[in-house]
Chain A
Amino acid sequence: MAHQSELIAKDIHAYLKAQQEKSMLRFITCGSVDDGKSTLIGRLLWDSKLVFEDQLAALEADSKRVGTQGEEIDYALLLDGLQAEREQGITIDVAYRFFSTDKRKFIVADTPGHEQYTRNMVTGASTADVAVILIDARKGVLTQTKRHSYLVSLVGIRKVVVAINKMDLVGYDQNCFEQIAQDYQAIAGVLGFEEITYIPISALKGDNIISLTASNMSWYAGPALLDYLETVQIGDTRSVQPFRMRIQWVNRPNLDFRGFCGTIASGQCRPGDPVVVPSSGQQSRIARIVTMDGDLELACAGQSITLTLEDEIDVSRGDMLTDPNRCPGFANQFQAKIVWLNENALLPGRSYLLKAGSSVTPAQISSLKQRINVCTFQDESGKTLSMNEIGVCNLALDRAIAFDPYVENRHTGNFILIDRFTNATVGAGMIDFALRRASNIHWQVLEVDKIARAEMKNQKPFVLWFTGLSGSGKSTLANLVEQKLHSLGKHTYLLDGDNVRHGLNRDLGFTDADRVENVRRIAETAKLFVDAGLIVLTAFISPFRSERAMARDILEEAEFVEIFVDTPLEVCERRDPKGLYKKARAGELKNFTGIDSDYEVPERPEIVVNGANADADNLAEQIIQKVKKNLSLGN
């Protein structure tokens, strides 16, 4: 903050006034391992006098103890704040730092270069306006430089600085700088940046960072890095885009007030403006924009506001209010680019939670269309995405949501994917386009519906979902239960390995991805049969919780009865009716549940039966007793 010190001492009031006019710029540093990202930010903080004396004392001590610069100061230690980072001399997680000059306040995210921590780099990039991509002058453009450049472009950053660092180690050689700039230009073509600025720097020595250091690089005409950051124009088009606001919270302090709270994603609004809710098509007008300091006449993109509407319409959290003349897309299927962030690979068919703004919807990756090779930027085919991989996917959501393509609107075209069991944030998505418009396919209301069909059978349809290890007794039990139901006059259908694996699912093997798809198809089939009015029994290992939860979700409540056939592995293995355990133990059979593939025990099954019990008929009768409620027609 050295810049303003005169004004601070002379006229603090004038200084405070000037401060209020400041704009804000968010940027990141990225690039390959050890290219000097943390050192650069440390240097920026240092040179803008943001390192206090007590911090300096700590920094000097740390530099001697764990620094990489011998007796000299290691500026990276100002950033690498975690013990593990200091010990290893690398950045693991993104650090957010702040500094300001006369013109701007800056929020900088220092991201890790290691491939392993790419997800933390994406975290930092997602909110940045500008990226500073560092390249070690001795090494030139590396794979990780390309990966980060691709991600920077993917998250929608359009202005980048390519800072060619460690110029001190190549004798401040102009040719070296130009060669690297040329190499970068050659790969950047496909990335669609609006503006690339090349700056030769030495983060360690402070060359061309705050100001130009003519003595070393007289051949470079500018700008210095800070000059660039202070003046770069972030064409904020958000305000001129159509009005969009997702409802975060409905404010109902009393019966007379119903306010809709949210952050305006784009556009602006005034009292009197018409708005529409895409999910219902309902329209109204904005009555007031309410704040604690009085009503507003106008609110713009980025503001967090509370609106009231002129009419009582049905709007809740997750819904979007939009400009009726320029509506967003509204769909339950779309194509999106996904960056995978978790150790457990993405599995097409598995149900994840998709959170877009305030709306949370179960969603599946219906297919992985391509995987993107970050070295060549070419598409490749693939069945799954592993951590840090990027893919183009089709998604199917349980409900349609309002959205815009990410390239058009960074604030309404994004989402995250959450694992339904670990709750981890596993993916980051950017929507390309809708696959078909849900608004056009409002399910045709059929005259003959599920209730009508079931009534004809004099029954309520539901699914008995048996799950358990191979050899646990699922099929035996399901068969017995079906016989009993049949003798009670119920119309049933049993989906079992034999009638499904050989037909519908004969293209599937036993990898995790295939198992997920297998169960998905069974669940969908069961759902159709339920719709036809039948009582369905399924007898599959169905080892993963996520897929069983998915099956539960696509059915209505009380239509899904999970039966865990709880038989110890030793018992199953002893029974080994098809000799499969023996083969699996001998290594002849891969991915066998219980041996080299997991079985995830149900957390809250409706029914648990002890499958080690030899009296199967008795067990089947127990199951019938437990589902008596479903069998009677009353409630």
Chain B
Amino acid sequence: MTHLEQLEAESIHILREVVAEFENPVMLYSIGKDSSVMLHLARKAFYPAKPPFPLMHVDTTWKFREMIEFRDRMARECGFDLLIHTNEEGVRQGISPFTHGSALYTDVMKTEGLKQALDKYKFDAAFGGARRDEEKSRAKERIFSFRSETHRWDPKSQRPELWNIYNAKVKKGESIRAFPLSNWTELDIWQYIYLEQIPIVPLYYSKVRPVVERDGMLIMVDDDRLKLLPGEDVQMKSVRFRTLGCYPLTGAVESTADNLPEIIQEMLLTRTSERQGRLIDHDQAGSMEKKKQEGYF
């Protein structure tokens, strides 16, 4: 088997194991490339049945418009059961990445929103598309990652995880986050998308888009909630995104790559990591580990 075939088989094994062991699993669908791959793998794992779980999107209300369009189109075309949850309390308080800073915003709209949704539907397992190569605390996380009743991750007492035998036992209220893409790298993901012709949000491809330069990043002007600061102006640039999140926190890269081979080529030649375009990881040292402990994906 080639390395991609091995990764695919491992992911399918994980997806099935969760479905067989848990009563009420859900797949967290973030609309990005990793989610697209995870969804594709789920369709393969359960074919000819449909994946026997709903998809859930925690909508911060600050996602790129094209992401939302893509999400709704995929759900329509593939016939998924799609749940959308927004932290209404956060919306009421007017929490925004522009005025409250990325740390508080992420905490309220993403982490809290996620926990609310998990509690509301009483999910006992949630699939996430995180990969170990993304960040150094992720590199330490198990494939079946145990969460307490309050959704906390305890990095110091993770369950040993041997071979491909996963311990799925949880008590009421506790849960497992399962990561079928743990062993994939960014390159593997792109190659697989290329080989399997998996649809992805068009924002990954270069196009001339309106952007402003802020804090050393190129932020796309996706709607009129982005207010220009003194000295800023909107420029039209050929850009694309390596990762997708909330538009005010996601930096674009200048590029002309408008097809997969060129995207892969650029990725291989770049000297920066994909998370560099994400504001939230840089807030403080060890910030990802801390967020994860608090329940972030």
Contact = CB atoms under 8 A, between A and B. Distances in A.
Interface of A: 1, 4-5, 8-9, 12-13, 15-16, 19-24, 52-55, 62, 78-84, 86, 92-98, 100, 104-105, 107, 119-120, 122-123, 126-127, 248-249, 251-253, 257, 259, 261-263, 290-292, 300, 302-304, 306, 317, 341, 353, 355-358, 410-411, 414-416, 418, 423-425, 428
B13 A24 contact: no
B165 A261 contact: no
Given A12-B264, A249-B19, A355-B167, A263 B160 contact: no
Given A20-B4, A123-B160, A425-B160, A257 B12 contact: no
A416 B162 contact: yes
Interface of B: 1-10, 12-13, 16-17, 19-20, 43-50, 132-133, 135-140, 155-156, 158-165, 167, 169-171, 182-183, 185, 187-188, 191, 194-195, 261-262, 264-265, 268-273, 275-276, 285-286, 289-290
B16 A261 contact: yes
B194 A82 contact: no
Given A22-B2, A414-B162, 11 more contacts: A12-B261, A13-B261, A16-B194, A79-B136, A94-B140, A98-B133, A98-B183, A104-B3, A317-B20, A418-B169, A423-B170
Contacts, number: 192
Contacts of A79: 136, 139
Contacts of B7: 24
Nearest to A426: B160
A353 B12 contact: no
B1 A358 contact: no
A93 B155 contact: yes
Contacts of A357: 165
A23 B264 contact: no
B160 A24 contact: no
A387 to B, nearest CB: 11
A104 B2 CA distance: 10
9 contacts: A15-B265, A19-B191, A81-B135, A84-B156, A93-B155, A251-B46, A302-B1, A302-B5, A416-B167
Given A290-B47, A423-B171, A16 B20 contact: no
A80 B137 CA distance: 8
A418 B16 CA distance: 20
A8 B265 contact: yes
A572 B159 CA distance: 39
Given A78-B136, A83-B289, A304-B13, A414 B265 contact: no
A62 B285 CA distance: 9
Given A251-B48, A415-B165, A12 B13 contact: no
B136 A95 contact: yes
Given A54-B273, A425-B160, A82 B289 contact: yes
B6 A24 contact: yes
A424 to B, nearest CB: 6
Nearest to B8: A304
